[in-house]
Chains A and B, each alone.
Chain A
Amino acid sequence: MALITVRFYSLWRSYLGTDSATLQADNIEDALAQLEERFGPRLRKNLEAAGIHLDGKIQDYSLILLNGVTLRNLKSTALKQGDVLHIFPPAIGG
Chain B
Amino acid sequence: MESKTADKDVRRWVTESAESQAAPDGRTHLVISLKTTAFISSSQGVPAKEVEITALKQGIIPSRYFRNIGTIGLDGQIKLLQSTVAVAGVGGLGSTVIELLARQGIGHLIIIDNDRFTEQNLNRQIMCTEGNLGEYKVTVVSRRVKQINSATTVTTFRERLTRDNAEKLLGSARVVVDGLDNLSSRLVVEHACRQLAIPYVYASIGGFSGQVMTIFPGDVGLSSLYGSSSDTVPEQGIETKIGNPPATVAMIAAFQVQEVVKIVTGVGHPVRNRILFVDAREFTIDRIELGR
Contacts and interface: CB of A to CB of B under 8 A. Distances in A.
A52 B241 contact: yes
Given A10-B279, A14-B282, A52-B242, A94 B203 contact: yes
Given A10-B279, A72-B228, A91 B205 contact: yes
Contact of B181 (A11, A14, A94): A94
Given A11-B207, A68-B291, A72-B226, A91 B282 contact: no
Interface residues of B, number: 52
Majority SS of interface residues in chain B?
Answer: mixed
Nearest to A84: B288
A45 interface: no
Contacts of A72: 226-229, 232
A63 B224 CA distance: 10
Contacts, number: 121
B226 A94 contact: no
Contacts of B236: 92
Nearest to B185: A94
Interface in A40-83: 52-54, 61, 63, 65, 67-70, 72-73
B80 to A, nearest CB: 24
B237 A91 contact: yes
A39 interface: no
Interface stretch (B17-25, B89-97, B139-147, B157-165): B89-97
Interface size of A as a range: 20 to 34
Given A11-B281, A68-B224, A94 B237 contact: no
Contacts of B183: 92
B66 to A, nearest CB: 32
A92 B239 contact: yes
B290 A11 contact: no
B292 to A, nearest CB: 7
A93 B206 contact: yes
A93 B237 contact: yes
Contacts of B208: 10-11
Interface of B: 89, 91-94, 178-183, 203-211, 220, 223-229, 232, 234, 236-244, 249, 274, 277, 279, 281-282, 284, 286, 288-292
14 contacts: A10-B277, A11-B208, A11-B242, A11-B281, A54-B241, A70-B226, A89-B206, A91-B204, A91-B239, A92-B181, A93-B181, A93-B204, A93-B237, A94-B182
Given A13-B282, A52-B238, A92-B182, 19 more contacts: A7-B286, A9-B279, A10-B206, A10-B279, A53-B241, A68-B290, A70-B224, A72-B229, A72-B232, A73-B223, A73-B224, A73-B227, A90-B234, A91-B210, A91-B211, A91-B237, A94-B89, A94-B181, A94-B204
